[in-house]
Structure 1
């Protein structure tokens, strides 16, 4: 997905090609999906009509590269909804300010930094997006596991995000390795690799390509699967039996920001009841206690207790080993 700046104005949300950020606005970098950003910003504007916000949307990997490249001359005020495994990079944590965001004290310790540099009230989880019409046309059996995707019949029928460019790609690879163990995990990924038609830079593209019938299976996001099913596409959301990868989406304030009050105000809003209610409509994973899954999630087949399908992910390990895992993946499967 191309980089986008979403500028919140008095009348509407304008979306334009990436350009220099606006001097007097609160500048936010995010890796949230573009469709989500537009929805959330519309609600933020209603709640805070006097606050001008510019949002630059980047993939997980590109956001990290930009942050580090700008370390000597920071451009952003806020990081909003970025993979916690990326946020926990020591080079990134050095750039973050300890800030008390209202409501984060209610989050479990594993969903916030002890020093207040980040918190994660939302997250995302993976899923297989299976086009049921194409599946039937080709006489294929519904896959219920990664192992099923290794069947020869799925040759060139699968899309997956590249873990070196997409946080979604990394969460899938990381989940397989943590659930099965490194040796067995790589063996399984190696067995599926010959059937891959393409590795993408976008986490949502595999699902979007599958829903339109270009491919049978898109290894992608539960959010995109739920949205696609709600919109009427012939799609099934499948959680692999080996365990589903998931990621927390962390937020925080850059230490270099000269608009920390405005930054705190925005992040306080993201923890408000109104924002959390909105997140529950669009996110498969909300870490704030209480509440019910959305109707769209239930209709798409998201279990009431998602812990029953999640892989046993250790985020400290995820963060500490990501460079090693990405390098090995590139060596094995890079195209």
Structure 2
């Protein structure tokens, strides 16, 4: 416990240096990419919102938010995935607010307390290089990946990466007992899953695995597959897997300790609106979950919304268990 506290303290210091106090601007914490953050900031400014978006990887932001619980520096959290938002909500970091656009959200994208609302979703998919693997030879489900024919053909990333965390959660969610614990069969499967993979800890090693290491199967968020196809020159095809594909959604919530509540409400109302979400979809190809926004999105984005069948996952139930699962992965499985 003392070690955890020291890590959080160091994280808080590092962020304090990187992110100085920001006058009266609305401060938004987000793990979105640099280009995404730039777009959000500029569009918000044009709409009359004085916003400073401070970006960092999702795990680092989560640690900082926990470290700052008694002295919050953020006003709004935007773009963290289901598990992180569920834990932050459970820890009392957010306050209730129902945005003006939330009434039309499908039930799975809002919680009963009216605290966290989701704005777009991303499937974590299996894709394969169609130049090197046929549709017949490609895996049909996540559980197929442990077959000998796929040894060394897929990459497992760092467990600190949001994408890795999500597909590991999706796999383990298939092996739960009545109490919600992972069965021994689940851990045995995960051991085989790792043993059959190329395991990497950084982005360079991951890229090298595809360039010269023999990897031809991509476990990634859908936008990442598209990006990889361009950067690696691979013709990736996405598989609509048997048993479903883990789908994550990103949420927005207002911090419980904000001293700029009205500004925060106005920003959230603007950001999640149909017009802004449709414009974001046009720019980045992300699938909005608000029906009115999806209807205004480009045809290819609408098609992507139905690309795969979602795996049913209770993220609120899994979120409190995920860190202990991943710790076991690090200590016993890798």
Pairwise same-fold verdict (TM > 0.5): yes
Q: Residues 63-88 of structure 1, C-alpha deviation per residue, up to 9 Å, x if partnerless?
A: 21111112232221110011222222
Question: After the TM superposition, which residues 207-226 of structure 1 pair with which residues of structure 2 at under 5 Å, given as runs?
Answer: 215-226=215-226
The aligned residue for residue 304 of structure 1 is 306
SS at match of 1:89: helix
Matched residues, number: 306
Pick from 287, 290, 293: which aligns with 2:289?
287
SS at match of 1:267: helix
CA distance in 2, matches of 1:205, 1:99: 42
The aligned residue for residue 29 of structure 1 is 29
Q: 1:77 to 1:211 in 2, by over 3 A?
A: farther
SS at match of 1:218: strand
8 Å contact 1:159–1:217 — kept in the other structure?
yes
8 Å contact 1:123–1:283 — kept in the other structure?
no
The aligned residue for residue 142 of structure 1 is 138
Q: 1:258 to 1:210 in 2, by over 3 A?
A: farther
Question: After the TM superposition, which residues 137-286 of structure 1 pair with which residues of structure 2 at under 5 Å, given as runs?
Answer: 141-163=137-159, 165-181=160-176, 182-183=182-183, 184-200=185-201, 215-229=215-229, 233-281=234-282, 282=284, 285-286=287-288
SS at match of 1:88: helix
Q: 1:36 to 1:130 in 2, by over 3 A?
A: farther
8 Å contact 1:86–1:319 — kept in the other structure?
yes
Higher helix share: 2
CA distance in 1, matches of 2:85, 2:262: 21
Q: TM-score scaled to structure 2, two decimals?
A: 0.77
The aligned residue for residue 84 of structure 2 is 86
The aligned residue for residue 64 of structure 2 is 66
Q: CA RMSD in A?
A: 3.3
The aligned residue for residue 128 of structure 1 is 126
Structure 1 portions without partners, runs of 5+:
1-16
SS at match of 1:247: strand
Moved more, 69-78 or 172-181: 172-181
Displacement after TM superposition at 1:303 (Å): 6.3
Q: Residues 46-67 of structure 1, C-alpha deviation per residue, up to 9 Å, x if partnerless?
A: 333xx33222223332221111
SS at match of 1:125: strand
CA distance in 2, matches of 1:213, 1:64: 35
SS at match of 1:313: coil
Q: 1:41 to 1:235 in 2, by over 3 A?
A: farther
The aligned residue for residue 57 of structure 1 is 55
SS at match of 2:291: coil
SS at match of 2:250: strand
The aligned residue for residue 115 of structure 1 is 113
8 Å contact 1:211–1:234 — kept in the other structure?
no
Q: 1:32 to 1:318 in 2, by over 3 A?
A: farther
Q: Residues 303-328 of structure 1, C-alpha deviation per residue, up to 9 Å, x if partnerless?
A: 6374xx21111122222322332233
Structure 2 portions without partners, runs of 5+:
1-16, 177-181
CA distance in 1, matches of 2:279, 2:89: 32
CA distance in 2, matches of 1:239, 1:209: 26
Q: Residues 123-158 of structure 1, C-alpha deviation per residue, up to 9 Å, x if partnerless?
A: 22201243334558xxx9433333432234544332
8 Å contact 1:125–1:284 — kept in the other structure?
no
8 Å contact 2:124–2:220 — kept in the other structure?
yes
Q: TM-score scaled to structure 1, two decimals?
A: 0.77
Displacement after TM superposition at 1:252 (Å): 0.9
Higher strand share: 1
